[in-house]
A = this chain, B = another copy of it.
Amino acid sequence: MVEGTTRLETFSDGVFAIAATLLVLEFSVHEVSGPRLAHELLHLWPSYLAYATSFLTIGIIWINHHYCVATFARADRVLMFLNLILLLIVGFLPFPTKLVAQYLQKPGEQDAVLAYCATFVVMSIVYNAWWRYASYDRRLIRDDVPDSTVLAISRAFNPGVPMYAVVFLIAFASPLASVILTFAIAAFYLPSAALFTER
């Protein structure tokens, strides 16, 4: 029999890697831009920002996901389904990323960024639910994993939802600030807080 958590990880690994790499398809320049190509490439900065933000976030969720799964003794049907919902949202991320790349600093940017940030809010809610379900009362946790490790992971998950909720609200005032904050979370907060808290 295939062991439960391996089954969980293979498909997740695939979706994480593919969703991150598909992000590059958002980039495009107009066919006619030949002589002004340098100029247009510089003006694509919202695309670069959106690409880096989404790529780093997926990458860190992926590393984090592995770390969590490594504490599981087994996977049950609820966890498998929550995991599938999480992947469904990660797999969806290239679309709002493309919206930000297309609309930031243009008419419609607020709607685009709200859709982007809402995706992050939902993603962090589902990711939290996924971990809470597995760790509640050590439901799926291996016996040899100390309580302190479980607690450290839970503490690292805590700020996720409120943080992305605040970033969502900020988009009503400044869409650009919201995207930059989402990038900052991926580049500075997540690596230090969520990634290696077990030590």
Chain B residues near A2 (CB-CB < 8 A): 66-67, 69-70
Chain B residues near A191 (CB-CB < 8 A): 77, 80-81
Set B37, B94, B102: member contacting A112, Cβ < 8 A: B37
The copy count of this chain in the complex is: 4
Q: Report if A173 contacts B (CB, 8 A).
A: no
A22 close to B19 (CB less than 8 A): no
Q: Please encode chain A, from 1 to 13, with 1 for each CB lying within 8 Å of some chain B CB and 0 for all others.
A: 1100001001101
Q: Report if A195 contacts B (CB, 8 A).
A: yes
Q: Report if A51 contacts B (CB, 8 A).
A: yes
Q: Report if A21 contacts B (CB, 8 A).
A: yes
B111 close to A41 (CB less than 8 A): yes
Set B17, B51, B95, B108: member contacting A35, Cβ < 8 A: B108
Q: Report if A115 contacts B (CB, 8 A).
A: yes
State the CA gap A22–B38 with chains docked (Å): 24
A interface residues, Cβ below 8 angstroms from B: 1-2, 7, 10-11, 13-25, 27, 29, 31, 33-38, 41, 51-52, 55-56, 59-60, 62-63, 66-67, 69-71, 77, 80-81, 84, 87-88, 91-95, 98-99, 102-103, 106-108, 111-112, 114-115, 191-192, 195-196
